[in-house]
Amino acid sequence: MPQTAKRNAMALHSLVESAGEVGPFILVGHSFGGHMIRIFAHYYPEKVAGLVFLDSSHEDDFEATAALFPSKSVADWHGEFRQLAFSTGIVAALGSTFAVADRQLVSVFEKTQGGHSYSGREIAATFRGKFFKALSSELLNFVFVSTSQVRKTVPVSPRMDLPVAVLIATDEVAQYCTPITSAHTIPSSFTNIDMSLPANESGLCVPIRAHSDRAPSLEAALAQSHYQCQWKLATQLSTLSRVLFSTGGHYVMFDDMNAVVRAVEDVFHEAKRIARANAIAWQENTKGEYSFEPDENEL
């Protein structure tokens, strides 16, 4: 079954429905998962109280990079993803029989991240190439299907009742700019960005490259386009957005879990504030005919 952002978002909805969970929820999406939670929020807005993006993908990533580094076009990027999808598909076919690839993958993961140690037999019996099979489908559909799906969900104007936190990995933008602060010191406020400013004037990440006519290197172009797209993600979805920074690289949940927890907590408290304000407004509009106090356990 093809792995697309919309299919995964619908699967998540079916899962919470089957579990009897009614929400609203704070959704957290890392990388490609950012597409999934955006699509979920689009189709089920009443079930979403807030969004947290962990160094998320953006639908304009390739176009933004190609604009800064013209020698590598969008078609070139698409070709690389297609080739990678093809390669992982071959690995999946081999892994389904021998599970050698999955054994190697988990071995590398254990060395870099720690955790439970699996035996070769456990890995062979459990994974059997499924990781690479899913990855191959996800990569291929990411470029040609999922990106199109998420583009259709971009709101005409940002929502005014949805707290959003965009957490950017410092290492991913280090070739372009230096954050002026960390996620641990930015005040808990969802009004810390000026939506009208372009990314390079946001004041949250100071560019390290002086203005010149010389094109940036590929690494610098990737860093700059990544920051620009993260800024666009924050400003296009909601007027209640924050941009935060984590230490380390793309896998922020391993490199800086404290920043992740802080982002989720901030969105939770803002969502609770909005719920209380809505409850008070509802009481005033009904002229005191009803009394309602939101249950904190449901927020």
Query: For residue 100, is pLDDT > 80?
Result: no
* Confidence class for position 242, pLDDT limits 50, 70, 90: confident
Range in 15-29, 88-102, 265-279 with the lowest mean pLDDT: 88-102
| Summary mean pLDDT of the chain | 79
Show the tokens assigned to 124.
């062979």
Question: Would you state the pLDDT for residue 188?
Answer: 47
Question: Would you state the pLDDT for residue 138?
Answer: 73
Per-residue pLDDT, averaged over 262-278, amounts to 91
Q: Are 242 and 186 in contact (CB under 8 A)?
A: yes
Helices (H), the chain: 5-18, 33-43, 61-68, 74-98, 100-113, 120-126, 130-141, 147-151, 170-173, 218-237, 252-255, 257-285
Angle formed at CA 298 by CA 297 and CA 299, multiple of 5 degrees: 95
Show the tokens assigned to 290.
């009803």
Query: For residue 209, is pLDDT > 60?
Result: yes
More confidently predicted of 54 and 113: 54
Query: For residue 218, is pLDDT > 60?
Result: yes
* Confidence class for position 83, pLDDT limits 50, 70, 90: confident
Dihedral (Cα; 231, 233, 235, 239), 10-degree rounding: -130
- The single-letter code of the amino acid at 121 is R
Q: Are 169 and 249 in contact (CB under 8 A)?
A: yes
Rg (CA), the chain: 21
Q: Are 223 and 176 in contact (CB under 8 A)?
A: yes
More confidently predicted of 102 and 234: 234
Question: Would you state the pLDDT for residue 91?
Answer: 61
Q: For residue 118, how many other CB atoms are within 10 A of its CB? A: 18
The helix-helix angle for 74-98 and 100-113 (nearest 10°) equals: 110
User: DSSP assignment of 251-299, as one string?
Assistant: -HHHH-HHHHHHHHHHHHHHHHHHHHHHHHHHHHHTTTSS-----GGG-
Which 8-state DSSP code applies to residue 44? -
What is the C-alpha separation between 33 and 55, in angstroms, rounded?
A: 10
Buried b (16+ CB within 10 A) or exposed e, 37-46: bbbbbbebee
- The single-letter code of the amino acid at 255 is D
What is the C-alpha separation between 40 and 47, in angstroms, rounded?
A: 9
In tens, the pLDDT along 13-60 reads: 999 999 999 889 999 999 999 999 999 999 999 999 999 999 999 999
Query: For residue 149, is pLDDT > 80?
Result: yes
Range in 28-37, 73-82, 98-107, 134-143 with the lowest mean pLDDT: 98-107
The structure's pTM equals 0.79
Angle formed at CA 255 by CA 216 and CA 108, multiple of 5 degrees: 95
What is the C-alpha separation between 293 and 147, in angstroms, rounded?
A: 41
* Confidence class for position 152, pLDDT limits 50, 70, 90: very high
In tens, the pLDDT along 159-202 reads: 888 999 999 999 999 998 888 764 444 444 555 455 566 656 55
- The single-letter code of the amino acid at 20 is G
How distant, in Å, are the alpha carbons of 41, 171, 266, 269 from that of 188?
Answer: 23, 23, 6, 9
